[in-house]
Amino acid sequence: MAENRLARELETRSEVERPKAWQPASALPEPDKQPGYSYRWIRVASMGQQDAKNVSAKLREGWEPVRIEEQPKFKFLTDANSRFKDNIEIAGLLLCKIPSEFMEQRKEYYSKTTRDNMAAVDSNFMRESDARMPLFNEKRSTTSFGKGK
């Protein structure tokens, strides 16, 4: 007996889509990235008090405020009473950018500082070593897993 069946290629399956779940809006939207720049939200106020020291330090490091024209999707999200009128400030945080090569240099600087600090701590620790009871300064750790049954 021949059955009335469609060829396998002609069969369609209804796609089952997961229902979209509601999520609360993030406090800080993600900016559209421009090649060659890194972005960060810089604190300009905390609990209603201006934080001029933090802003000044970040601007001296090389961070520059992002203008509204560069990120038009933020036009209606910015604070109306902001000190930074043409820039993007949301909830006491100012969107800033810096060239990516500065971020790499900053990362290398802090990595070197960390290595130097660790070398100083290790040197101080090993100075206390005595031949009769030597100290071990092993920087490796191992992980072992048991055998399953």
Contact 73, 29 (CB under 8 A): yes
- For 88: left if phi > 0, alpha if psi spans -120 to 50, otherwise beta; the answer is beta
What digits encode the pLDDT tens for the residues 100-116? 999 999 999 999 999 99
Contact 97, 38 (CB under 8 A): yes
Residue type, 35: P
**pTM score of the predicted model:** 0.61
Which residue, among 53, 55, 29, has the nearest Cα to 42 in the 3D structure?
Answer: 55
Number of residues that make up the chain? 149
What digits encode the pLDDT tens for the residues 15-33? 667 778 877 777 778 888 8
Contact 51, 44 (CB under 8 A): yes
Which residue, among 88, 93, 92, 43, has the nearest Cα to 67 in the 3D structure?
Answer: 88
Both structure tokens of 66 = 């992002």
pLDDT band at 85 (very low <50, low <70, confident <90, very high): confident
Which residue, among 76, 38, 92, has the nearest Cα to 84 in the 3D structure?
Answer: 92
CA distances from 119 to 112, 139, 146 (A): 10, 12, 35
Q: With residue 58 as reference, give the H or E element that holds it.
A: helix 52-61
Q: Which of 33-47, 72-86, 91-105, 114-128 has the lowest mean pLDDT?
A: 72-86
